[in-house]
Homo-oligomer: A and B are copies of this chain.
Amino acid sequence: MEVHLAVAKTNKYATSDSGDSVEVVERPNGGISVVMADGQSSGRGAKQISSLVVRKVISLLSEGVRDGAAARAASDYLFTERKGKVSATLNIVSIDMQTATMVITRNNPLPVLIASMDEVCAFDDESSPIGIYRDTRPLISELPLDPGLTVVLFTDGLVHAGTRTGQSLDVKTYLQTLVDDEVEEQWTDPQEIADSLLAHAVQLDHGRPVDDITVVVLSVTSKHSDSVRRMSVHLPL
């Protein structure tokens, strides 16, 4: 089996700082984690918040702290640092080799979409951003690492795209279409899913995103693996 993680990310139109932050980190007991945060508002202030949250979480995860505890620590940290005045959404998705599961951690009102062989469901129980209240707890869902499992997470720029013109992107329906179109074992490349969702959203905003947009897609495939771990980053200058 192989896990393929893909991220596509763009800034709000005409801003140089994205309020979204995403980092990937290796887990000390095997596997990887991707951490995504969206800081309140946009621009430099939001960037500082999301970056502070993601940094705290990856630093804890890389020391072996479990995802739920890392999310709670980030919440307490942000609450303390900013005196409960600033919020951020936080998502962690981990491939945990100790438990052979995918662990999804949410402090985000937005759902995480989970596609398995033939259906798409939303992990959408009520969940709050961190930073505003004491004792904010994350919701956690744990899934076995089965081939065909795909999860999609995103920041609110994706679902708010097009709202100015009364349009919007129904991410779940979009994913369902992909799943329905799948030929057996021929899963769409996660990077293509992420790119296409992002492109669709940018199009709804007429090429000028009204908010920062980040899309993260993780897939487990039955692909025969050559034991080589690969990572690739494209950074527009």
Contact = CB atoms under 8 A, between A and B. Distances in A.
Interface of A: 1-11, 16, 21-26, 28, 30-32, 51, 55, 58-59, 62-63, 95, 97, 145, 190-191, 194-195, 198, 220, 225-237
Contacts of A24: 24, 231, 233
A2 B59 CA distance: 28
Contact of A230 (B8, B55, B227): B8
Given A3-B237, A191-B232, A10 B95 contact: no
Contacts of A2: 234-237
Contacts of A229: 7-10, 233-236
Contacts of A145: 237
B21 A26 contact: yes
Contact of A28 (B32, B51, B228): B51
Given A55-B59, A55-B62, A236 B228 contact: yes
A235 B95 contact: yes
Given A2-B237, A51-B62, A237-B225, A232 B26 contact: no
Nearest to A218: B233
Shortest beta-carbon contacts, A-B, top 10: A225-B236, A7-B231, A5-B233, A230-B234, A1-B237, A3-B235, A9-B229, A232-B232, A10-B228, A231-B233
A124 B195 CA distance: 39
A4 B25 CA distance: 19
Contact of A233 (B4, B11, B21, B55): B4
A205 B11 CA distance: 45
Contact of A231 (B6, B220, B228, B236): B6
Contacts of A28: 51
A237 B97 contact: yes
B232 A5 contact: yes
Contacts of A58: 58
